[in-house]
Each structure stands twice: as C-alpha cells, then as structure tokens.
Amino acid sequence: MYRFGAAVTLRLRLFVLVAGVIMLATSGVTAVALWREVVRGQELLLREGGAIAGTVAAQASRWMTPQGPDTGGDQALLQMTERLLQSGPFDRAWIVDRAGRLVACSSRHGESCPEGTPLSMFRGTEGPLDALDRLVHPEGIITGAPIIREGMVVGAVQVEYEGEEVIGGARRLAYGVAAIAIFWIAVGLGLAAILLRNITRPLTEVIRAADTVADEGGVQIALPQDRELAELVTSVNRMSRRLGERREENQRLIASLEERVAQKTREVLRADRLATLGGIAAGFAHELGNSLNVIRGFNAVALRELPEDHPNRPDLEAIRREVSRAASLLERFLVFARARTVQPQVQPLEPILREAVEVVGPAASQAKVATELRVDPELPEVLADAELLRQAFLNLCVNAVQAMQPNGGGKLSVRAQREGSSLLVDFADNGPGIDPETRKHIFEPFYTTKATGTGLGLAIVRQAAEAHGGAVELVSEPGKGTTFRVRLPGATEAPA
C-alpha cells in the first residue's frame, strides 16, 4: 500500500479523491457518447438498407399491380429477394403487396417472414436505453422501401439485418466501457478508503480525547502527519492542558474557600459568644447603674446635711463626680449595646441636622468655636429615625468642638448636599487633625484619646449610619483638620 508522505496535505488527498470522482464521471459521459455512436451506426444501417431495398423496389414495380403480382411475378419476385439477401448482411428479405400479404420471402436460416408488415416504416431515433435493451434482448433492424407503380404504392420490399451485425460491435464496445468503468470505480473506492482511513483515524482519536478530556490527568494526543489535522490535535491538547490548569486552580480556590468558610464559622461562633457576653454585660451595666443611682442619692443627702466647711465634704464631692462619670459611661454603653430598633419615617433631614447644631451652640460659643450650617436646596428626604440620627449628629458636633477646644477658637462647618439619590453630610473642623494610627481604630468601641472619654461616641455614630443603610467616612491629616462624612440613602433607595 502506498503511504503518503508528511508533505502530502489533507487538501491534496481530498483533491485526489475529487479527481477520482471526476474521472469516474468522465468515464460515464464517455460511455454515453459511445452509445450515441452506436445509435448513429444503427441509423446508418437503416439508411443503407433502405437504399438497397429501394433499388429492388424499382425492379419489382414491373411485376406488382394493385391487385397483387402479375402472372409469373411470384417467381421473379422470389429471385429478387434471394439476390437482395445476398447483397448485404441481411437475415431475411421479403416483399408484400398493398394489403400487407406476403408475396415472396427469403431467409438465411429458414425462418418465416412476418405477415401484415406495413408498406413503409418510419422509425424514431433510438436512445441509449433503447440500445441497451437491444443488447439485453437481441433483435435485428428492419428497414425497407415502398414499390410504386404509376404513382401508386402497390407493395413494399423489406429487409432485416442480422443481429450480430447490429449489436456485435455494440456489445464489444459495451464490454470495453464496462471494464474501464469497473476499473476506475475500484481505483476510486480504493483511494477513497485509504484517504478516508488516514483522515478519520486522527478524528476518531480526537473524539475519544474529547470524551476523556475531563479526567484528572487530561489527555495528550500524538500529532498526525497532516498539517490541518495536526493543528486540530494541537488545539485539543492545548485545551486539555488548560482544563488541567483550571482544574488545579479550582482545587486551590476550593481549598481557599473551605479555609475561609472555616474561619468565618469560627468568627460567627466568636460573634455569638460576644453577643451573649454583650447581653450579660448590658445586664450587669443596668444593675450597676441602679447601684450608682442609689450611691448618688445617699451622697446627695450627705452633701446636703454636711456644712460647707466640713472636712469630709471634698471626699463626698469626689464621690459625686466619679459616680456621675461612671453613670455617664454606663448610659453610653447601654445606648451602644442595646442597638434599639430603628423606627424610620420619611422626613426631611434639615430640621434634624439644624437641631443638633443648635444644641451644641452654647458649648461652641464657650470654646470660641464658630459654627456654620449649609443645606443645599432640593435635598431629598430620608427614611430615618430622627432621634437616632440626632444623637449621631450631636456626637460628631461635640467631638469637633472638643477637638478644637484645647487651642481655643476654630470653626465647625456642617454641610448637607445631594449626590445622585443619596445625601452627604460633612462635619468639618480645622482642629489638629488625626494621626494615621488613630484613624485605624477611631470607630472601635471603647477606643478613645481623651482623658475623660468613653470611646463610644463614634461607635454609636457608625452604628446609627449603618442602621439607616449608610456609612461614615473619615478624612483627616495632622495639622489640617478633620472631616467626618455621613452618607445616607434617599427615601426612595433606603432599605426597608
């Protein structure tokens, strides 16, 4: 078997296959053309036989009348048919009268002549199928010429060619064409089998590879010799490698996600424990608040009964201060720990903000801090709990005043503006600013830089903003002041 080299591409092999098909089609066309030649040869035989019969018909007109042959004409006509039979490759020759009755007949093989033959025969041109049918059912070709006497048809001369003369050459030609066609068909099928085998083998391997490409180890197919198939196999190998890489990456991601889930689970459990501990702490804080109220009551009674110059009075004053400080700390802690349910209503933000700035006004005047409130027009309404927002805004104003108080003077600028469908409320001061380390922990509960602070003010601010679906941002640099920005959604975008 001939093996095509690596240089023979798939395109060339397909070209060879198409060339074989073209040759087969050409053989078929050639065969049809040859059959046409056979038909043409038969037409020539018909004309030749008609001409010979015409010559005899001219002689026979002397012996034929409309009523039949003249006296002695039977013998003369019989001799004419015998001479006509010897003048060509005829099998039979006969003469009929005007009514189609047989008058004279001569045959090489002693066959009888047909009765009732028409005086003239007009045969149409035979096609390839007619010629093939003549090969399958051999028969001679009948032709003839009319006998005319005094302008009247009085009979006809008929001849029949031998079957071998008609189909002998055609049969030999058919055998030759059939042999050629069978040869080319065999060659074409052989080439097609070889080419298709070489084409389909790599494709079969690619199909198997596609079925097993999802396996753990992937698959790698050996490169075939054809450049086009080699490109296809290379693509499949590349896809298999990429799938393997993606599989490894997915496994790493799954492992990372499992680790994160485990970590989040630990954090959730820790948060649950902290929540439980927070509830317990809130209960303790409440009870401690009751005890502090009792202590504050008895301390007030003692201060009221002691004279101004009593030596124990300074001690009682210290107790009152510390008790008040502890009670304030417990009150802020309970506000933060309770995280009371928000009771929002659709309302404008300006009255809430203006009230917080007015409340801090006296403390700002005492600290020589100027206050400024700017509210942009057409500010959207908010879905908010007024008391919770007022407390958060007040905490930010108080922190700003306290930040500028040690140096004396300063300015607190509060501005509410619209950003799309949201609201931005900026609390800006020109105080000393906040260092980067402090900014990291500024919103953590109980983290404070003040000597008397509780560290819950900004934690309550963030809690209030998040309860309304918003957030708090801090922008500050040491020596350049501080800006707290509260971002709140409008009433149309606020969470339910």
Task: Report d(CA 332, CA 468) in Å as an integer.
Answer: 20
In the chain, where the domains are located: 10-187, 221-338, 341-489
pLDDT computed for residue 286 by the predictor:
54
Match 């033959």 to its residue by tokens. 117
| Cα separations in angstroms, 261 against 248, 266, 420 | 20, 9, 37
Return the CATH architecture of domain 341-489.
Answer: 2-Layer Sandwich (3.30)
Q: Quote helix, strand, coil % in the chain, to nearest 5.
A: 55, 15, 25
Q: 34 with 250: CB under 8 angstroms?
A: no
Task: Report d(CA 143, CA 47) in Å as an integer.
Answer: 8
Q: 310 with 327: CB under 8 angstroms?
A: no
Task: Report d(CA 65, CA 147) in Å as an integer.
Answer: 10
Task: Report d(CA 215, CA 244) in Å as an integer.
Answer: 9
pLDDT computed for residue 2 by the predictor:
41
pLDDT computed for residue 122 by the predictor:
45
Q: What superfamily does domain 10-187 belong to in CATH?
A: PAS domain (3.30.450.20)
Q: 474 with 439: CB under 8 angstroms?
A: yes
Task: Report d(CA 420, CA 490) in Å as an integer.
Answer: 9
Q: 341 with 387: CB under 8 angstroms?
A: no
pLDDT computed for residue 143 by the predictor:
84
Chain length of the chain: 496
Per-residue pLDDT 10s for the chain (496 aa) are 344 444 455 555 665 666 667 666 766 666 676 667 667 777 777 788 888 888 888 888 888 888 888 877 888 888 888 888 888 888 888 888 888 888 889 888 878 888 766 655 545 455 556 665 655 555 667 888 888 888 888 888 888 887 666 666 666 666 676 677 677 767 766 776 676 666 666 666 666 666 665 555 556 667 666 666 667 777 777 777 777 777 788 888 898 898 889 888 888 887 677 666 666 665 555 567 667 766 777 777 777 778 888 888 788 888 877 777 676 666 656 555 555 555 778 888 889 888 888 888 888 888 888 888 888 888 888 888 888 888 888 888 888 888 887 666 788 888 888 888 888 899 988 888 888 887 777 777 766 766 555 667 778 888 888 888 888 888 888 888 888 989 888 877 555 5
